[in-house]
């Protein structure tokens, strides 16, 4: 930017020899202001967004992007209401929204495979879903939690009614397992890595290992039908720059982690670095490009939700997601 500015200044000092008039500097293109709202506080799920902003990828795409936190409202609500053009969401919540006539659309899978699951300190001896029996589970009171737990327990002939459920809300996992609960649902890339750094080993039961229908996209980048139809070129520009940000994080995990830390200096540096190194290769994983979504993944999970009475009607899968705004695979 400095070099460009110097170039513009030089031009104003020079006369146009063909006309004898002083050259007029070119007006810089006006950036379009947009907001992207996170699902939670900044973490390594969001690194590509911060990289795209810090390294000027959004600016190069003609965008002035403000990355914000959801506050009292959810990211989905803010995107659906038009308070933000884009948000970090989940396949589960977009599926539920679509079947309730809320026109949210997933534009990219942040992580290609589900890295979440049930985690317990090793001294609780929870090696399989059968071992949930007689234990205390700390959750947030979602029907999906119970359905997932029930379905993977039943695969092993276990009884979900023998699990004691405790609503722990936003309580710290490490405090809760010492005081109130035996296991909880976590994202390994953050809480699991933190456990490693604390020297508190976990038994981790990834839900995708028990059913391919539970290998869904979490999180995703979402927008609304209104934004997409109203300015498809802006959406394409945003997703191209975002893809570039995540590709940088794939290729340069340490540098990307430093960018996240610069944007969110209150985060633990060791945790961010370790988490980023673990997560970066998993953003794209076995997909042909970052963000690519498969119809089978959307259909499998929505069918599972419908079978478990978590949806009032089947999902129109082709309206819930699109790959059309991602740059072509190289």
Residues 203, 119: contact at Cβ < 8 Å? yes
**Residues 52, 122 within the same domain:** no
Residues 245 and 291 in one domain: yes
Residue 15's pLDDT is what?
Answer: 40
Residue partners of 209: CB distance under 8 A and separation at least 6:
117
In a domain, 249, yes or no: yes
With b for 16 or more beta-carbon neighbours within 10 A and e for fewer, the 107-119 pattern comes to bbbbbbbbbbbbb
* Whether residue 59 is found in the same domain as residue 132: no
DSSP 259-300: HHHHH-TTS-HHHHHHHHHHHHHHHHTTSSSTB---HHHHHH
pTM: 0.89
| Claim to verify: residue 120 and residue 259 sit in the same structural domain | no
The total number of structural domains that make up the chain: 2
Q: Would residue 254 count as lying in a domain?
A: yes
Strand partners, 15: 22
Residue pair 220/108 in contact (Cβ under 8 Å)? The answer is yes
CA 285, CA 246: separation in Å to the nearest integer? Answer: 12
Domain of residue 244, residue span? 32-111+217-320
Residues 121 and 107 in one domain: no
Place of tokens 């003609």: 62
Same domain, 101 and 184: no
Buried b / exposed e across 259-280, counting CB within 10 Å, b at 16+? bbbebbeebeeebbbbbbebbb
* SS3 state of residue 78: helix
Element (H, E) at 97: helix 91-98
Q: Are residues 46 and 190 in the same domain?
A: no
User: Does residue 53 sit in the same domain as residue 77?
Assistant: yes
Q: Are residues 249 and 302 in the same domain?
A: yes
pLDDT value at residue 141: 82
Q: Domain boundary at 179, 214, 249, which?
A: 214
**Residues 231 and 270 occupy one common structural domain:** yes
Element (H or E) spanning 37, and its range? strand 32-37
CB atoms within 10 A of CB 208: 15
Same domain? For 62 and 129 the reply is no
Q: How far apart are CA 158 and CA 162, in angstroms?
A: 9
Is the same domain home to 244 and 193?
no
Strand-pair category, 116-121 with 183-187: antiparallel
The C-alpha atoms of residue 84 and residue 70 are separated, in whole angstroms, by 10
pLDDT tens for the chain, residues 1 to 330:
233 333 333 333 334 434 444 444 555 679 999 999 999 999 999 999 999 999 999 999 999 999 999 987 799 999 999 999 999 999 999 999 999 999 999 999 999 999 999 999 999 999 999 999 999 999 988 889 999 999 999 999 999 999 999 998 878 999 999 999 999 999 999 999 999 999 999 999 999 999 999 999 999 999 999 999 999 999 999 999 999 999 999 999 999 999 999 999 999 999 999 999 999 999 999 999 999 999 999 999 999 999 999 999 999 999 999 999 999 987
State the pLDDT at residue 235.
98
């Amino acid at each position: 930017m400095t070099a460009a500015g110097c170039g513009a200044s030089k031009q104003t000092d020079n006369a146009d020899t063909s006309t004898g008039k002083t050259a007029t500097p070119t007006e810089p293109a006006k950036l379009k202001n947009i907001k992207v709202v996170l699902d939670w506080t900044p973490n390594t799920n969001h690194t590509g967004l911060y990289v795209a902003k810090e390294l000027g990828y959004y600016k190069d795409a003609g965008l002035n992007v403000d990355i914000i936190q959801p506050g009292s409202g959810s990211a989905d609500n803010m995107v659906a209401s038009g308070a933000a053009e884009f948000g970090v969401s989940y396949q589960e919540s977009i599926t539920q929204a679509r079947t309730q006539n809320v026109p949210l659309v997933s534009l990219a899978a942040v992580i290609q495979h589900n890295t979440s699951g049930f985690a317990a300190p090793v001294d609780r001896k929870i090696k399989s879903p059968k071992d949930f029996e007689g234990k205390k589970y700390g959750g947030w009171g979602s029907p999906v939690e119970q359905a997932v737990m029930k379905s993977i327990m039943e695969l092993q002939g276990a009884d979900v009614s023998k699990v004691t459920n405790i609503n722990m809300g936003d309580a710290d996992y490490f405090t809760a397992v010492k005081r109130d609960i035996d296991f909880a649902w976590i994202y390994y890339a953050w809480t699991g890595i933190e456990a490693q750094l604390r020297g508190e080993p976990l038994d981790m039961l990834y839900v995708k290992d028990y059913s391919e229908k539970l290998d869904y996209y979490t999180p995703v980048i979402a927008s609304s039908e209104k934004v997409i139809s109203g300015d498809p070129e802006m959406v394409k520009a945003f997703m191209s720059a975002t893809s570039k940000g995540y590709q940088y994080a794939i290729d340069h995990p340490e540098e990307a982690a430093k960018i996240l830390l610069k944007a969110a200096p209150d985060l633990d540096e060791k945790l961010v670095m370790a988490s980023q190194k673990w997560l970066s290769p998993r953003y794209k994983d076995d997909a042909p490009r970052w963000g690519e979504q498969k119809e089978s993944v959307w259909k499998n999970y929505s069918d599972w939700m419908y079978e478990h009475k978590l949806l009032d009607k089947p999902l129109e899968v082709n309206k819930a997601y699109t790959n059309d705004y991602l740059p072509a695979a190289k």
